[in-house]
Amino acid sequence: MTEEGNPAPAPRSMFDRMRERLVPDGLPEDDRGRIRMVVNSLVLHLHPAKVPERTLRWTYSWGLGGLSAVLMMLLGVTGIILLNNYTPAVPQAYLDILELRSNVWFGELIRNLHHWSANLLIIVAVLHLVRVFLTGAYRPPRELNWLIGAGMLVLVLAANFTGYLLPWDQLAFWAITVGTSILSYVPLAGEWLSRLALGGPEVGGNTLLNFYSMHISFIPLLIFALMSYHFWRVRKDGGLTMPRGLDEAEPPISERVTTIPHLVRKELVFALAWIAALLVFAMLVPAPLEDIANPDVSPNPAKAPWYFLGLQELLLHFHPLVAGIILPGLAALAVFMLPFFDTNPASVGVYFRSRRGRSLTFLSAGLALVLTPLWVLLDEYLLNWSAWLPGWPALLSNGLIPLAVLLLPLFLLDEWLVRSFKADTEERVLFIAGFVFTAFLILTAVGIFFRGPGMGLYWPWELPVAGH
Ligand code: HEM
């Protein structure tokens, strides 16, 4: 009893104190309220309690980072289930996949879900990178998160590549044989690296075991660890960058709304909708599986996994050191260095920085769209550098010289932009990245849809259907 004779208030539990802090308006006093409290508290570990309303717009982030995370979760869950029915040995691996498809409840569905989610993750993570790039969201203070993201993209590719071999069918065996052959071109350490990855001189049982252990332990663990850090950094760096229109001179002051329910409801609906769509897709479209791997019968053409076909296309045109090492190395260096030389905070959050930035991006993408196929055709049917420069080392005649001939016009264009239009760093970055990214997409499309037997150029409808 209190001094006034009223009953003493019940002691406040830990949940009560949490609830008062998290949801001041209060929740019903029942178990559901408590469960909700625990979930809310989990959510508020990931998100701040309030977020600017503007950052919730789909047309800014397109939910691409969130979708990457949903796909990673889905891959984790389906991957653990698949583990129960898989032996990383030749030929048992292939037999296990056959068994999984016909004799394991929902086995085929789980495999399809894993396969399609993994492929979608590459596309979504690249689109997320493009979004972050176009809105300048890699600039200080977010440079570290950009680097973490770029590292995760490399790991996502590595996870896909190591997983590609596991079904041990013809597709897997030859794609990995072609893909890993690039490793041997690394100067000095190439042979050693290739042997390390393959566990021997060529793809075999040791490679399967190596790839399997990387695929189920080191790579996913590192991705999940980096992902947690990536999320935490988004919070630490002040949340998402503030979206701003091309004509808004100043970052707008946006009303702040509570994360629960405004952000969480959107995230939940978005995640469930994507999971449902993927489930339906996985029910309708089976993951490919060809005949068991046969090292003596190479398919024609033998192609790397689709996400490396841009690289394989480059290898058809340039000396392997240029196509497989120098160009990808320079591209990776540019991605990692970007936040340190393009730092202007004024245009963060604005798609394409300015109207002129937008025009320049479309101009460079348009140029790449026309010039890349033209160059592929020229190099296929007309140019013959090695014959024109007989006696020259192949690295020069079929590598550095054609590369210089190609890059020179791009440098001249860049110079012209600076001199004639006083283009600044961020506009030049947009121009060059627009060109290089579009050119790489076109090369990938050529590799997927236009390369046939003997890696010759064909129309897509003339190509043999895989597995036939
Ligand atoms: C598995 C891959 C990835 C996951 C799960 C992921 C997840 C996320 C999420 C959930 C966000 C906040 C919401 C959003 O922007 O959509 C975010 C923001 C961000 N991400 Fe990623 N991300 C991934 C890959 C990348 C890559 C490849 C990069 C770039 C190289 C990157 C750089 C960033 C940056 C700089 C932000 C802050 C953006 C801003 O404030 O506007 N992330 N990421």
User: Would the pLDDT of 330 be above 60?
Assistant: yes
The answer to whether residues 37 and 19 touch, using CB atoms and an 8 Å cutoff, is yes
CA end-to-end span of the chain: 86
Query: Ligand 1 centroid vs 428 CA: distance in angstroms?
Result: 24
Residue 308: closest CA among 290, 322, 292, 323: 323
The pLDDT > 70 percentage for the chain reads 93
Instruction: Provide the 3-class DSSP secondary structure of residue 257.
Output: strand
Residues with Cβ < 8 Å from 367, sequence gap 6 or more? 435
Q: What is the pLDDT of residues 58-90, one digit of tens each?
A: 899 999 999 999 999 999 999 999 999 999 999
Range list for CATH 1.20.810.10 in the chain: 51-345
**pTM, rounded to two decimals:** 0.91
Mutate to test the pocket of ligand 1, among 57, 72, 128 (most ligand atoms within 8 A of CB): 128
Which CATH number is 51-345 given? 1.20.810.10
Q: How far from the centroid of its chain's Cα atoms is residue 112's Cα?
A: 19
Longest dimension (CA), the chain: 107
Query: Ligand 1 centroid vs 197 CA: distance in angstroms?
Result: 29
Q: Write the single-letter amino acid at 225.
A: A
Q: What is the pLDDT of residues 347-365, one digit of tens each?
A: 999 999 999 999 999 999 9
Nearest protein CA to atom 26 of ligand 1, as residue: 149
The answer to whether residues 435 and 364 touch, using CB atoms and an 8 Å cutoff, is yes
Residue 428 pLDDT grade (very low, low, confident, very high; cuts 50, 70, 90):
very high
User: Would the pLDDT of 39 be above 90?
Assistant: no
Q: Residue 402 burial by CB count (10 A; 0-12/13-18/19+): exposed, middle or buried? A: buried
Residues with CB under 6 A from ligand 1: 61, 64-66, 68-69, 72, 125, 128-129, 132, 137-138, 142, 145-146, 149-150, 152-153, 156, 227, 230, 234, 240-241
Query: Ligand 1 centroid vs 353 CA: distance in angstroms?
Result: 19
Query: Ligand 1 centroid vs 332 CA: distance in angstroms?
Result: 17
